[in-house]
Amino acid sequence: MHNISTIFRREFGSYFATPLALVFIVFFLVLAAAFAFQFGNFYDRGQSDLAPFFSYHPWLYLFLIPAISMRLWAEERKSGSIELLMTLPVTTWQAVIGKFLAAWAFAGVALALTFPMWITVNYLGDPDNGAIFAAYIGSLLMAGGFLAIGACLSAATRNQVIAFIFTIGICFAFLLSGFPVVLALFEGWAPQPVVDAIASLSFLTHFQSISKGVIDLRDLLYFATVIGVWLAANAIVLDMKKAD
């Protein structure tokens, strides 16, 4: 626990030691608001909720989360500091979890800074604040899923750009499998359980179900599993190819 928190603090601090944190947060906030107001018709819908805001999160995360996760391990490889880290008395697991939690906390800070949206909708109307809270939780969990995928792929390469692009690719597949257009391709011929299975693999399906305001145990379990599996893969990849 002590080692995880030491690594967490170093990693979290390093986001703010460079302009990366500022650039990321500003970009995220501007885009999140722009999508909600421009494409989500936040005002014109005449409903006091944050659905137009949250519905674009998966697409925002698709491009922004890989930008956080790409440096996690690729940078350590490139600079050689991975050799320092892995010869300190910490286990691979402690390093993997500490780094992941730092990235997740950073994404959480960016997400929390969207609070003016929440205030705005309360000022304009009388929204279901419980549902909004649930959607925030769902959004944070989804960010965790994206980050775990990104962390694993970042560990596989020393090139941050490659990590970035591959992460987008895999995250896109995880999103797409819940998209109506994709599901329609299967619906004609595949049995319903298969279609459901494909849909249930998707971040989109689980995020949408949470953002309706219902925190279902199955959705929590889904995100916990995704994060756990990808972090386990992250640790295995590290142990397999530490040196190159």
**Which residues would be at the binding site for other proteins (CB under 8 A)?**
2-3, 6-7, 9-10, 13-14, 17-18, 79-81, 83-84, 86-91, 242-243
- How far apart (Å, rounded) are the C-alpha atoms in residues 201 and 178? 7
CB of 64 to other proteins, least distance (A): 20
Shorter beta-carbon distance to other proteins: residue 10 or 212:
10
Residues 6+ apart with CB under 8 A from 199: 177, 178, 183, 205
CB of 104 to other proteins, least distance (A): 20
Shorter beta-carbon distance to other proteins: residue 73 or 230:
73
CA–CA distances in Å: residue 103 to residues 15, 64, 81, 100? 8, 12, 18, 5
By CB neighbour count within 10 A (0-12 exposed, 13-18 middle, 19+ buried), where does 89 fall?
A: exposed
Measured distance between the N- and C-terminal CA atoms of the chain, rounded to whole angstroms: 28
Residue type, 76: E
Shorter beta-carbon distance to other proteins: residue 57 or 71:
71
CB of 118 to other proteins, least distance (A): 33
CB of 244 to other proteins, least distance (A): 9
Shorter beta-carbon distance to other proteins: residue 18 or 122:
18
CB of 243 to other proteins, least distance (A): 6
Neighbours of 13 (CB within 10 A): 11
CB of 93 to other proteins, least distance (A): 12
Shorter beta-carbon distance to other proteins: residue 24 or 207:
24
Shorter beta-carbon distance to other proteins: residue 98 or 144:
98
